[in-house]
Chains A and B, each alone.
Chain A
């Protein structure tokens, strides 16, 4: 199985801060990388697919980059509603696997 490792596991930042979350795959996955946002008690929500493509309706402060094994999700200006847990997921090969999640809190 491809292991997905996210860092950090959690972070606390202020409104307006630039936030970066990293996801590393245990082998190259090209651009087969998706980012989701999950709020407590809710299903995950698609943010970014194909490593850098923004899903329709997602605010432009979210962006993704990377290819191969190293990927980044960036929130350019953190907003209160961005408090959530973020997951990366590879779809290069089954079993599709997720990172362990990064919890973002607002200071």
Chain B
């Protein structure tokens, strides 16, 4: 059973950069075609942040404009999220997730436990 675990600072200052890592266990990160980040502000719904493909190409939510970067480190079996110029509205639980696609229909079948990141001075 694949496991995903997020890690990173729980507190980031406004205008700073949020940095999170997702370590994949019990499976090779190369075994999946792509990996994603999803976030959830406290008491609110889910928002897809973006994804990185096995090729290294990325696809981001336009709502985050040019602030987001997702990268992968195959040697460490992990992928990462950076979100720059953060404000209080970026306060959320951040989940890493594995999208699985079958017959071109994709869904998130594995999720990390989530990590709360608070943006505050």
Q: Which residues of A contact B (CB under 8 A)?
A: 1, 31-32, 34, 36, 42-46, 49-50, 55, 87, 89, 91, 94-101
Known: A32-B106, A43-B112, A97-B48. 17 other contacts (CB 8 A): A1-B63, A34-B108, A43-B97, A44-B46, A44-B108, A44-B111, A45-B111, A46-B108, A46-B109, A49-B107, A50-B107, A87-B45, A89-B46, A89-B108, A95-B62, A95-B63, A101-B46
The reply to whether B45 and A91 contact each other, CB–CB distance below 8 Å, is no
Would you call B107 and A46 a contact (CB within 8 A)?
yes
Q: Are A50's CB and B105's CB within 8 A?
A: yes
Per-position contact with A for B83-105: 1 when CB-CB < 8 Å, else 0? 00000000000010101001101
Complex Cα spacing A44 to B112, Å: 9
- Smallest distance from the beta carbon of A13 to chain B beta carbons, Å? 21
- CB contacts (< 8 Å) of B114 on chain A: these are 42-43
- Shortest CB distance A85–B (Å): 9
Q: How far apart are the CA atoms of A34 and B102 in the complex, in Å?
A: 13
The secondary structure that dominates the A interface is: loop
The total of Cβ contacts below 8 Å across the A-B interface reads 60
Residues of B within 8 A of A97 (CB): 48
Tell me which of B62, B102, B107 contacts A89 (CB under 8 A): B107
- Is B28 positioned at the interface, with any CB of A under 8 Å from its CB? no
Name B69-93 residues within 8 Å CB distance of A. none
Q: Which residue of A lies closest to B46 (CB)?
A: A98
11 A-B interface contacts by CB (under 8 A): A1-B63, A36-B108, A43-B111, A43-B113, A44-B46, A46-B107, A91-B99, A91-B106, A95-B63, A96-B48, A99-B45
